Amino acid sequence: MNKEIKTIHDIVELFKEARKQNDEQKLKECFDALWEMQTERCSIINVGRSKDITDVSRKIINGAFIVRLYDGFDNEWIDVSKPLPYEEALEIWSKKTNGGTEKTTYNDMDYYAIFSEDTMMLYSHPSGRWDGK
């Protein structure tokens, strides 16, 4: 990549640029940068149980994602976005978590995570679905 990546915002901007150009190689490079940015405290990629990085990369490049809030008091997941391309979901997640520095783990009680749109949550109420309002 030409541009130095320091923050999640940098990755979001690079994802958007690569998506506009329909450049699959750049999209994969964005994914690789995102993968390396994860920490024990901040897991940015929740796309199912696959350990195969190619499957995960493909899903991020081609799939739709939802940002969800885990309400630790009520023990339920609430959708806070409609299904979006990964970089847009990441942008929302980043804003909600102050760049991934807060509200990112179960220890925070209420925390945000990004899931592929086909992920059904065990502890979710149907009314938690995003309705466009």
pLDDT tens figures, 50-68: 555 566 666 776 778 899 9
What's residue 82's pLDDT? 92
Q: How many domains does the chain have?
A: 1
User: For the chain, what percent of residues have pLDDT higher than 70?
Assistant: 70
Tell me the pLDDT tens digit for each residue of 68-79: 999 888 888 889
Question: Is 77 a domain residue?
Answer: yes
Which tokens sit at 97? 């978590």
pTM comes to: 0.69
Question: Is 133 a domain residue?
Answer: no
Domain range for 43 is: 8-128
Question: Is 97 a domain residue?
Answer: yes
Q: Mapping DSSP to helix (H, G, I), strand (E, B) and coil, where does residue 124 land?
A: strand
Question: Is 98 a domain residue?
Answer: yes
